[in-house]
Structure 1
Amino acid sequence: MNPIVTVRDAAIAFADWIEPTDAELDAIEQEAPLILAEVDLLDAQIITLDRVPSEVDTRRIRRARNRVLAARRTLANRAAVVPGGAA
């Protein structure tokens, strides 16, 4: 007789391997400003999908792009810093 395994049982069996590590959580936390800036840019772009962008929409998209670029720059500069090394 074959035992019946539920989805819950299968998920619990691998629960330890599914959870993110502390290093992964730290990486997500460092990238959070970039992720939020990209979401804001996407929201601004979605607003203009069904209409001709107004001047306000154009400014909103431009500012959101600038926030994304600034967040990317900050993230890249943070990754370039070597702990304990000369700056």
Structure 2
Amino acid sequence: MSIIHLASVSGEAPTAADLAAIEREWPLIAAELDLLDAEISFINAGPAASVLDRRRVRRAEHRVMAATHGLASDDSDSEGAA
């Protein structure tokens, strides 16, 4: 028994609402992937990590926060209009 539900395996395709939600959240997803990439590079650099490596991580963190803020403000704007 699998604890992971795989909709595509069960024959269910994503709905238009599912796809719209992914599209709306994509800037945050991309920012989080960039942050993960920066963190992996920083960790792999080890003791040789430079100031520029740390700056790359900080900038990626700021992009995640900005994307999160944008998504949250979009959500609150849409709730206020409803």
Give your verdict on TM over 0.5: yes
Aligned: 1:31 with 2:25: yes
Sequence identity percentage: 46
RMSD: 1.9
1:57 is aligned to: 53
2:39 is aligned to: 45
Q: Which amino acid aligns with 1:60?
A: R
Q: What per-residue deviation string (whole Å, max 9, x for no partner) do you get for residues 19-76 of structure 1?
A: 1000010000000000000000000000022313211101100000000000000000
Unaligned runs of 5+ in 1: 1-10
Matched residue count = 72
Q: Which has the larger Rg?
A: 1
Aligned: 1:69 with 2:65: yes
TM-score (norm 2): 0.78
TM-score (norm 1): 0.74
By percentage of residues, which structure has more helix? 2
